[in-house]
């Protein structure tokens, strides 16, 4: 009952594995495996006959930072009728990856590009290439760096870059990299890059000329800050940049105004306006240390505030009340903001909602600017300085730095503390310390 797969799978690039599980304690099964880049649609060969017995197992490759990615394009209706684009699988970029239909392969691929999801446009559009007027768009699940490989020169003249050079890509904010792969003697390639937030759609400039030969590359931005919000009932929260007049909830056109400056730049997570089921638990996590803000309705003139119980439950959990809060379209509604700092890699679970809840979540990276980081650290220092003496014991500061800056090892902390307390008094003025650490001028090179 193999359906012809033992012969068809190796022909399609699958490799027979050394072992296989047993079924009813009988060694009749065989296992085939194949690597698959993130975002690929991997198809098995057609089965033959009826009653095929098979199972499919997917094992993630955690060591390869490849972004689950979508690549799409749009062009004029006339152009679409004149071509028959293919829909190739994304592959993992590395030495020997295909470049064009002349059979040329990429060599000397920079290490910082290797292992990324890769799509050469030649495999999608054939010999004619994409038509003029085509726009490529890319969207990746995590924060990523998107690279476009373009043919800058060909046979000593202009390359097949579709009008993206010399101005279109730089004008759209794409930065040229110093290194680029090679694809034989006839072509000189160039790489342009742009960072994108998680699930942000990024479009290349419109191709002004037909026949461009391009490569689209997407790689996870390992250093980028990102945050996620999940709920106990599977309710999804949309994400957006938190800024003035941003849409506040996913099911309305109400907008936030008078956005407090300390909450920007932040990531807004917006659910339904007032229909979050009672008893919902919201889970918040981030890739780095952050401050989490909950915007919740505290008063409703002529009615009952829809606070979901957060005003009391968050206060009991140690959240602080902020001095200012944004407004939205309903002038009867008064919002309040509560916040708490979360350490890198931690997960916050909000108390279960009780009754109606009008709220949003905002997550801000505390390392997004020196001023913000200084403010967060000063607040921590003041918690240790109960007498208000503007000083902190050396061992307490060491413990605080270990918790707030896990990337700094004991040797690094010791060097910072020695510089802050050169006379070894055992006590450090934290205002002076912040000035030295965060606002010191870089040494001339």
Q: How do residues 231-282 score in pLDDT, each as one tens digit?
A: 998 888 998 999 999 999 999 999 999 999 989 889 999 999 989 999 999 9
The mean pLDDT of 385-404, rounded to a whole number, is: 72
More confident residue, 12 or 135: 135
Model confidence at 13: pLDDT above 50: yes
Residues 192-230: b if buried by 16+ CB within 10 A, e if exposed: bbbebbbeeebebbbbebbbbbbbbbbbbbeebbbbbbb
**∠ Cα 293 294 299 (to 5°):** 135
Q: Distances in Å between the alpha carbon of 363 and those of 22, 216, 261, 268, 287? A: 49, 31, 13, 7, 11
Query: CA–CA separation, 202 vs 116, rounded Å?
Result: 17
Query: CA–CA separation, 402 vs 98, rounded Å?
Result: 47
User: Parallel, antiparallel, or unpaired: how do β-strands 427-429 and 201-203 relate?
Assistant: unpaired
Lowest pLDDT segment from 134-143, 356-365, 369-378: 369-378
pLDDT band at 91 (very low <50, low <70, confident <90, very high): confident
Given this model, what pLDDT does residue 445 score?
Answer: 32
pLDDT averaged over every residue in the chain: 84
pLDDT band at 149 (very low <50, low <70, confident <90, very high): very high
Residues 161-178: b if buried by 16+ CB within 10 A, e if exposed: bbbbbeebbeeeebeebe
Given this model, what pLDDT does residue 339 score?
Answer: 94
Q: Distances in Å between the alpha carbon of 379 and those of 9, 71, 143? A: 61, 44, 30
**What are the residues facing 149 on neighbouring strands?**
191, 215
Please give the structure tokens belonging to residue 194. Answer: 């742009």
92: helix, strand or coil: strand
Question: pLDDT tens digit string along 189-209?
Answer: 999 999 988 878 899 999 999
Model confidence at 444: pLDDT above 50: no
Tell me the residue ranges of DSSP E strands in 94-168.
117-120, 135-140, 144-154, 157-158
Model confidence at 62: pLDDT above 60: no
Question: pLDDT tens digit string along 297-349?
Answer: 999 998 999 999 999 999 999 999 999 999 999 999 999 999 998 887 789 99
Residues near 277 by beta carbon (within 8 Å), at least 6 away in sequence: 233, 235, 353
* Closest C-alpha among 72, 83, 178, 172 to residue 127: 83
Model confidence at 434: pLDDT above 70: no
More confident residue, 122 or 39: 122
**What percent of the chain is predicted at pLDDT more than 70?**
85
Query: CA–CA separation, 153 vs 293, rounded Å?
Result: 51
The mean pLDDT of 74-96, rounded to a whole number, is: 70
Given this model, what pLDDT does residue 51 score?
Answer: 80
Query: CA–CA separation, 375 vs 381, rounded Å?
Result: 10
pLDDT band at 402 (very low <50, low <70, confident <90, very high): confident
pLDDT band at 229 (very low <50, low <70, confident <90, very high): very high
């Amino acid at each position: 009952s193999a359906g012809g797969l033992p012969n068809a799978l190796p022909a399609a690039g699958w490799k027979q594995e050394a072992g296989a599980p047993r079924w009813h304690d009988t060694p009749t099964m065989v296992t085939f495996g194949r690597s698959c880049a993130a975002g690929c649609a991997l198809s098995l060969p057609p089965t033959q006959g009826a009653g095929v017995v098979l199972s499919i197992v997917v094992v993630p490759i955690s060591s390869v930072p490849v972004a689950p990615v979508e690549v799409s394009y749009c062009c004029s209706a006339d152009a679409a009728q004149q071509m028959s684009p293919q829909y190739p699988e994304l592959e993992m970029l590395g030495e020997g990856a295909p470049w064009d239909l002349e059979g040329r392969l990429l060599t000397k691929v920079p290490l910082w590009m290797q292992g990324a999801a890769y799509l050469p446009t030649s495999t999608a559009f054939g010999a004619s290439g994409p038509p003029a007027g085509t726009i490529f768009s890319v969207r990746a699940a995590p924060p990523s760096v998107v690279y476009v490989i373009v043919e800058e020169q060909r046979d000593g003249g202009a390359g097949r870059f579709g009008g993206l050079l010399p101005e279109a890509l730089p004008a759209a904010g794409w930065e040229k990299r110093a290194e680029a792969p090679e694809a034989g003697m006839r072509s000189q390639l160039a790489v342009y890059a742009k960072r994108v937030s998680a699930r942000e759609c990024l479009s290349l400039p419109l191709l002004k000329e037909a026949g461009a030969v391009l490569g689209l590359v997407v790689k996870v931005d390992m250093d980028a800050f990102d945050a996620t919000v999940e709920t106990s009932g599977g309710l999804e929260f949309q994400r957006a940049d938190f800024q003035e007049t941003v849409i506040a909830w996913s099911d309305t056109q109400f907008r936030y105004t008078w956005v407090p400056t300390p909450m920007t730049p932040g990531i807004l997570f917006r659910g339904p306006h007032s229909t979050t089921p009672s008893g919902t638990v919201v889970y918040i996590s981030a890739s780095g240390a952050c401050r989490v803000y909950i915007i919740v309705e505290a008063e409703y003139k002529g009615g009952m505030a829809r606070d979901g119980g957060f005003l009391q439950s968050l206060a009991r959990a140690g959240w602080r009340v902020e001095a200012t809060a944004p407004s939205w379209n309903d002038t009867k509604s008064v919002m309040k903001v509560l916040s708490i700092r979360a350490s890198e890699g931690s997960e916050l679970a909000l108390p279960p909602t009780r009754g109606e809840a009008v709220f949003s979540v905002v997550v801000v990276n505390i390392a997004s600017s020196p001023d913000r980081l200084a403010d967060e650290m000063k607040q921590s220092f003041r918690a240790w300085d109960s007498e208000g003496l503007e000083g902190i014991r050396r061992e307490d500061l060491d413990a605080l730095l270990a918790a707030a800056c896990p990337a700094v090892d004991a040797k690094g902390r010791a060097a910072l503390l020695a510089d802050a307390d050169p006379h070894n008094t055992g006590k450090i003025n934290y205002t002076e310390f912040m000035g030295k650490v965060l606002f010191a001028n870089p040494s001339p090179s």
